[in-house]
């Protein structure tokens, strides 16, 4: 399996140019989605960037990184992977279905991190083909954090294929969130994810949405920040979320959480609680 190593994180300007080019190209190769590994052996955390991320997601200050923050550090490698000529799908238009993060121990905010990214083999889905982008973070040669981002490339699906979903939750609201129309732009500035569907009404309409939508990983981060404020988070745990209905901006949404010992179920619903935007489960390790 070929490996591409970086001395520094690739710049977003060139990555987005490559992403657009990859979306427009005509594939003339055999798919080889699990054939490339990307490595960033030395990633230092920019403390101003971390502070901006905490501010937009709601995580409080502390000696350890927010559990979702390494996903932001790995995201440039995700883009580089999906815009590589060996990648068999058009990057723009891919749907984010779910995200699973495992933290084996807290990540010190001043640690030097080693990031590894590759993709899983494809598998059939009722709406097309799914695959995972798999990321890991090591500190002093010890893997302390992993991330599985499950993505869907829409096409003629396989009706008999299994769609892996968390069970629906019926949680009483514990908070009401008023989300402003600029939330997508604020999170884009902190995360680097400037997908047009998150930025402005007009750019979202170009992709079939009535107006801009919130980032799924913002919703996961904000949910976990709320769980942290309500009762804390374990040092070691796995937390999965499924992204359901797009969260249009601006909007008012209901957040609910239910603790079961050290485990937590949580969910984000629309204003009248008729549609879930996010379903999540946290399990301590």
162 confidence band (pLDDT: 50, 70, 90): confident
23 or 154, higher pLDDT: 154
Report pLDDT digits (tens) over 195-209. 899 999 999 999 899
What DSSP element (H or E) covers 15? Answer: helix 12-24
pLDDT, average across residues 172-187: 96
Which pLDDT score is estimated for 198?
94
Confidence of residue 155 (pLDDT cuts 50, 70, 90): confident
pLDDT at 116 over 90: yes
Percent of the chain clearing pLDDT 70 (strictly above): 91
Among positive and negative, which fits the CA dihedral 76, 53, 133, 135? positive
Tokens at 272, concatenated: 């009248």
Is 254 or 192 the better-scoring residue by pLDDT?
254
- Residue-level pLDDT at 1: 61
23 or 129: which carries more pLDDT confidence? 129
For CA atoms 124, 132, 281, 53, the dihedral sign is negative
pTM as predicted? 0.92
- pLDDT in the model for residue 11: 66
Mean predicted confidence (pLDDT) in 104-114? 96
pLDDT of residue 28: 45
> What CATH number labels 1-162?
3.10.129.10
Average pLDDT over residues 142-165: 87
Sign of torsion over alpha carbons 140, 146, 152, 158: positive
What would the mean pLDDT of 243-260 be, rounded to a whole number? 96
Kindly report the CA angle at 18 between 13 and 22, in degrees rounded to 5? 155
C-alpha 155/C-alpha 49 separation (Å) is 37
Look at residue 213 in the predicted model and tell me its pLDDT.
Answer: 96
* Domain 1-162 and domain 165-285 have a common topology: yes
Would you say residue 169 has pLDDT above 70?
yes
Section 220-237 average pLDDT:
96
Question: What are the extents of the domains in the chain?
Answer: 1-162, 165-285
CATH dotted code for 165-285: 3.10.129.10
Torsion of CA 39, 40, 41, 42, to 10 degrees: 180
**Average pLDDT of the segment spanning 245-272:** 95
Q: Residue 39 — very low, low, confident or very high, per pLDDT cuts 50/70/90?
A: very high
Tokens representing residue 12 in the block: 């977003």
Which whole number is the average pLDDT over 100-114? 96
Residue with tokens 């798919």: 31
- Give rounded-to-5 percent helix, strand, coil for the chain: 25, 35, 40
């Amino acid at each position: 399996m070929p490996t591409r190593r970086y001395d520094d994180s690739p710049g977003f300007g060139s990555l987005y140019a490559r992403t657009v080019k990859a979306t427009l190209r005509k594939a003339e190769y055999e798919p080889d989605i699990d054939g490339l590994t990307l490595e960033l052996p030395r990633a230092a955390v920019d403390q101003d960037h971390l502070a901006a991320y905490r501010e937009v997601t709601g995580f409080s200050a502390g000696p350890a990184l927010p559990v979702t923050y390494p996903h932001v550090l790995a995201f440039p490698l995700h883009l580089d992977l999906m815009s590589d000529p060996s990648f068999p799908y058009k990057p723009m238009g891919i749907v984010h279905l779910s995200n699973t993060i495992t933290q084996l121990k807290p990540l010190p905010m001043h640690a030097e991190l080693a990031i590894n990214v590759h993709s899983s083999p494809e598998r059939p889905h009722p709406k097309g083909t799914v695959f995972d982008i798999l990321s890991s973070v090591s500190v002093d040669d010890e893997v302390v954090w992993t991330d599985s981002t499950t993505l869907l490339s829409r096409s003629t699906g396989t009706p008999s294929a299994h769609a892996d979903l968390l069970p629906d939750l019926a949680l009483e609201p514990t908070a009401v969130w008023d989300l402003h129309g600029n939330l997508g732009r604020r999170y884009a500035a902190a995360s680097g994810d400037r997908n047009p569907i998150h930025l402005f009404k007009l750019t979202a309409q170009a992709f079939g949405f009535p107006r801009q939508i919130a980032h799924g990983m913002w919703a996961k981060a904000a949910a976990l920040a709320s769980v942290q404020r309500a009762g804390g988070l374990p040092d070691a745990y796995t937390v999965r979320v499924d992204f359901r209905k797009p969260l249009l901006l601006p909007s008012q949404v209901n957040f609910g959480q239910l603790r079961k010992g050290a485990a937590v179920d949580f969910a984000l619903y629309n204003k009248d609680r008729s549609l879930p935007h996010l379903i999540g489960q946290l399990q301590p390790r």
